[in-house]
Structure 1
């Protein structure tokens, strides 16, 4: 199952939503107490906020009735969040929202980042999900007598060996844990 374009874009935008606040601060004229490029800043800020709210609603209301799986081993992937820092660092260099060439260049760079995160299955290594309490793990598990290894988004503490949980697939090789130690 591949992640739909709209869903992946929503997740990607939410990951970079703090960047919109940085743009707002950088574009704010403190002497005049106004935003210098409101036609750019407000839509970006609104889209960022909308993507975070929709992401929160989506993960909050995921349901699963699949048979429980049994965890064999777990390794953490949340440390890869550092990869999201590159666009944030770029924003601190000359980022004039009134300069069309800079905006187009930054837009192209963000498109390349989106494409790479999709191709490498790193779309869910997302600081906004981390703030919501989700971590991503590489999990080796048993499902219906078969050994599998995939990525799991888990809210709360790390999964433990031999723990049982219910999962729901949200993209190829990526699942969200919807229930831990379920009553069978």
Structure 2
């Protein structure tokens, strides 16, 4: 199954939620760091968020990536199993993080959300990273999956009488002799317990 282009954009943007948090923190005005978040013991009575230099861009990036992350985690839970497989061997493999490291490095190299040229250049860079991830079938290789409890496995399995070596994502541990349902999405099997 090929992921719909619009859904792939959401999946990609959701993976950069931590980056949007980093950029928002870097955009906090210097005067806000000297002020307390809450001026009262009662938490909700007199609390305010720090002021941002570029609130429109910072809040937009944060909001879009947060909604995309929620959509991503929701969608991943509901991929239905199309085939059953019996696991013969499994081993965890590290998630490919290199595609996600570059934008984080860029954020610490002086990205100023107030500079239109730098911000548009960064957005262009992310668009290029998205196209590479989407075309290479690596859109599901998302480091936030590890945080959400998903793990990437290399497994050998029997799928309806055919023995295959494959990569799979699973939220629960994968062990030999286990029977699981699978959904094939852009070169990766998403595993779940049979219903």
- Residue number in structure 2 paired with 1:69: 85
In 2, Cα distance between equivalents of 1:110 and 1:174? 23
1:29-85 CA-partner distances (Å, limit 9, x unpaired): 030441111110111111111011111211223333x45201233343334224411
Q: How many residues align?
A: 178
Aligned to 2:150: 134
Question: Matches of residues 8-47 of structure 1 in structure 2 within 5 Å?
Answer: 8-32=8-32, 33-47=50-64
Aligned to 1:101: 117
TM-score, normalization: structure 2?
0.82
Structure 1 residue ranges (4+ consecutive) displaced by more than 4 angstroms after TM superposition: none
Q: Which residue in the other structure is 2:171 paired with?
A: 155
Larger radius of gyration: 2
RMSD: 1.9
> Which structure 2 residue ranges, 5 or more long, are not aligned?
33-49
- Structure ranking higher in strand proportion: 1
Change over 3 Å in CA distance of 1:120–1:67 after alignment to 2: closer
Retained in 2: the 8 A contact 1:78–1:125? no
* Cα distance in 2, alignment partners of residues 142 and 70 from structure 1: 5
Richer in helix (by share): 1
Aligned residue number for residue 59 of structure 1: 76
Residue pairs, 1:76-115, within 5 angstroms = 76-115=92-131
Q: Which residue of 1 aligns with 2:179?
A: 164
In structure 1, runs of 5+ residues without a counterpart are none
SS at match of 2:96: helix
Distance 1:22 1:67, change over 3 A: closer
Are the aligned partners of 1:72 and 1:162 in contact in 2 as well (CA < 8 Å)?
yes
